[in-house]
Amino acid sequence: MMRRGGLRFLVAGLGAALLANLAPTATRGQERTVDDVLAAVVGVRADVPATARTAETLGTRREGSGVLIDAGGLVLTVGYLILEAGITEIVEAGGRVLPAEIVAYDHETGFGLLRALQPIDAAPMAIGDSAGLGEADPVLAVSRADGIAAQPAVVASRREFAGYWEYLLPDAIFTTPPLASFAGAALIGRDGRLLGIGSLFVGDAADEGRHLPGNMFVPIDALQPILADLLEHGRRATAPRPWLGLSSDERGGVIHVLRVATGGPAARAGIEAGDVIVGVAGAPVAGLADFYRRVWALGQAGVEVPLTVGRPSGRREIAVRSIDRYGWLRLDPTY
């Protein structure tokens, strides 16, 4: 991994030059300017009912960014911004607010799709190739959550990311320095093409366990294999993974339950905050990613998941009947 001082040197060398040298892209025979590229980054607003399953943890008023990716008003964002939303809006570069409808949500990648109900005054951003993006490559992180914010950055690392919400991204992009308004932000390469969508602030962008503030982006290459399904069905067409309804973190390879979703499978089975997940189906777990993989390997949503749970009183075997998370969420009926 690159040393922190080296990353700072690279970022300092980028500065405004990355914006100035952003290669124009061609659209229908015409070159696009930097302003054209940045105009494809739009604001995203969502109002979520207080009765939504995610209202307590994610809030009822959510704001972030998204990226226009086709001429029909399709906007790619991070899914938690629009999850269970009742009203969604898109904010253009000029400040005009457009009504939008939710098109899709994908839990496995974290992507969300919206479509503007009126024409957006911008050309779509070209989709890039995130597979070739490597450590120390210069990028531009752009948000329109509150005006325009463009942060030159470098790729600090590419690695697996396991989130506490039963989420595993095999090849996440970590950048530094961090963009404050990261939710749904665009990660743009020097050719002006979209390379990723902003998801998180992290404290260990360079390497897990090493302090270096930054952001985690979902790579754009994860979109193409599922895009047709998302547009047709509102979700991927593969069999849903088993979902337990628990939030957990890893400390020294040990899985600690932080909380359980009210009314979810884990809560109904008797799993409690403070429990330690020791094993799945009789096999020990070695970290959060291993925990998820062992659960998902048992079958699709609905399968019974035998957990070995550690408590001060001793170990217990608890069987959790998993469900499809989409059935538990109170999703907009349009998708």
Q: Mind spelling out the 3-state secondary structure of the chain?
A: CCCHHHHHHHHHHHHHHHHHCCCCCEECCEECCHHHHHHCEEEEEEECCCCCCCHHHHCCEEEEEEEECCCCCEEEEEHHHCCCCCEEEEECCCCCEEEEEEEEECCCCCEEEEEECCCCCCCCCCECCHHHCCCCCEEEEEECECECEEEEEEEEEEEEEEECCCEEEEEEEEEECCCCCCCCCEEECCCCCEEEEEEEEECECCCCCCCECEEEEEEHHHCHHHHHHHHHHCCCCCCCCCECCEEEEEECCEEEEEEECCCCHHHHHCCCCCCEEEEECCEECCCHHHHHHHHHCCCCCCCEEEEEEEECCEEEEEEEECECHHHHCCCCCCC
- Asked if the structure places residue 197 within a domain, the reply is yes
Report the CATH number that the domain containing residue 178 is assigned in CATH. 2.40.10.120
Q: Note whether 220 and 238 are within 8 A (CB).
A: no
- Among residues 190, 218, 238, which one ends one of the domains? 238
CA distance 45 to 64: 7
Q: Which domain holds residue 278?
A: 246-328
* pLDDT score of 172: 98
Q: Are residues 102 and 231 in the same domain?
A: yes
Q: Are residues 85 and 186 in the same domain?
A: yes
- Asked if the structure places residue 168 within a domain, the reply is yes
Gyration radius of the chain over CA positions: 20
- Among residues 238, 271, 290, which one ends one of the domains? 238
* pLDDT score of 146: 82
Q: Are residues 37 and 81 in the same domain?
A: yes
- Asked if the structure places residue 317 within a domain, the reply is yes
Q: Are residues 41 and 140 in the same domain?
A: yes
Which residue in 110, 62, 85 sits closest to 329, CA to CA? 85
* pLDDT digits (tens), the chain, 335 positions: 334 344 344 444 444 445 555 655 544 445 668 888 999 999 999 999 999 999 999 999 999 999 999 999 999 999 999 999 999 999 999 999 999 999 999 999 999 999 999 999 999 999 999 999 999 999 999 999 988 999 999 999 999 999 999 999 999 999 999 999 999 999 999 999 999 999 999 999 998 778 999 999 999 999 999 999 999 999 999 999 999 999 999 998 899 999 999 999 999 999 999 999 999 999 999 999 999 999 999 999 999 999 999 999 999 999 999 999 999 999 854 44
- Asked if the structure places residue 191 within a domain, the reply is yes
* pLDDT score of 208: 72
Could you tell me how far CA 90 lies from the centroid of its own chain?
Answer: 19
Q: Phi and psi (nearest 5°) for 89?
A: -140, 155
Q: Are residues 226 and 92 in the same domain?
A: yes
Q: Are residues 251 and 312 in the same domain?
A: yes
- Among residues 238, 257, 279, which one ends one of the domains? 238
Which residue in 83, 63, 71 sits closest to 143, CA to CA? 63
Q: Are residues 146 and 198 in the same domain?
A: yes
Q: Are residues 174 and 318 in the same domain?
A: no
CA distance 274 to 64: 32
CA separation (Å) from 126 to 26, 79, 82, 186, 287? 9, 20, 23, 12, 37
- Asked if the structure places residue 192 within a domain, the reply is yes
CA distance 325 to 179: 30
Report the CATH number that the domain containing residue 283 is assigned in CATH. 2.30.42.10
Q: Are residues 13 and 162 in the same domain?
A: yes
- Asked if the structure places residue 333 within a domain, the reply is no
Q: Note whether 295 and 279 are within 8 A (CB).
A: no
* pLDDT score of 297: 98
CA distance 25 to 32: 5
Domain count, the chain: 2
Would you state the structure tokens that stand for residue 170, as one six-digit string? 């095999």
- Asked if the structure places residue 154 within a domain, the reply is yes
Q: Are residues 199 and 322 in the same domain?
A: no
| Per-residue three-class SS string for 19-67 | HHCCCCCEECCEECCHHHHHHCEEEEEEECCCCCCCHHHHCCEEEEEEE
pTM comes to 0.91
